[in-house]
Amino acid sequence: MDAQAIRRALRRVAHEIIERNPGLEGVVLAGIPLRGVEIARRIAAFIREIENVGVETGVIDVAMHRDDVGTRKELPVVRASKLPVPLEDRTVVIVDDVLYTGRTVRAAMDAINSFGRPARIQLAVLVDRGHRELPIRPDYVGKNLPTAAREQIQVGLQETDNEPDAVWLERG
């Protein structure tokens, strides 16, 4: 995917979020660092452009909710989460770049629950590459990219990676 394809995909996701959530009442876009945060920001910008409504964005760090702490030689960097509280009656849209096993999303849901009990949680991803290990499915998908397990999806974004927007496949 090039920059234009990414822009179109996120714009369509923004449209779908607007359709699914009438009036965008109580919607918060919670990005998973690093790229999820940037993608959430962009989706929020599209929503503002399309509907002239500002939706809140947040940060949901999953490092301390992962199920593989203690099994890695290197720990993921932990960052502070930032969500509007109370979460009750709100719709939290988890935003990430690539959906793979679903474990990160499970960790994100656990993290959200420790802030409170939102009315609903939805999931928006730029790329769904398949290979789920948990019963999790996305509500909004920028692009489905079927992959083999040994392949890797790479996402580069101007703001987080300092390179032109792109999504590509790397064979391991």
Partner 1 sequence: MTTRWTRKDLLGLRELTADEINFVLETTDAFKQIGTREIKKVPALRGKTLVNFFVEPSTRTRTSFELAAFRLSADVINISATTSSLTKGETLKDTARNLEALQADIIVLRHSSAGAPQFLANRLKASVINAGDGAHEHPTQALLDLYTIRERRGKIAGLHVAIIGDILFSRVARSNIFGLLKLGARVTLVGPSTLVPRDFEKLGAEISYKIEDVLPNADVVNLLRIQHERQRREYFPGLGEYIRLFGLTKQRAKLLKPDCLIMHPGPINRGVEIDSEVADGQQSVILDQVTNGLAVRMAVLYLCGGIAS
Contact residues for partner 1 (CB under 8 A)? 61, 63-67, 69-75, 77-82, 85, 110-111, 113-116
Looking at the Cβ atoms of 42 and 65, the one nearer to partner 1 is 65
Looking at the Cβ atoms of 67 and 133, the one nearer to partner 1 is 67
Q: Closest separation between CB of residue 34 and partner 1, Å?
A: 11
Q: Closest separation between CB of residue 80 and partner 1, Å?
A: 4
Q: CA-CA distance, 71 to 149, in Å (whole number)? A: 20
- Cα–Cα distances (Å) from 46 to 1, 17, 96, 144, in that order, read 19, 11, 16, 21
Q: Closest separation between CB of residue 61 and partner 1, Å?
A: 6
Lookup result for tokens 């929503």? 47
Environment class of residue 40 by beta-carbon count within 10 Å: exposed (0-12), middle (13-18) or buried (19+)? Answer: buried
Looking at the Cβ atoms of 21 and 113, the one nearer to partner 1 is 113
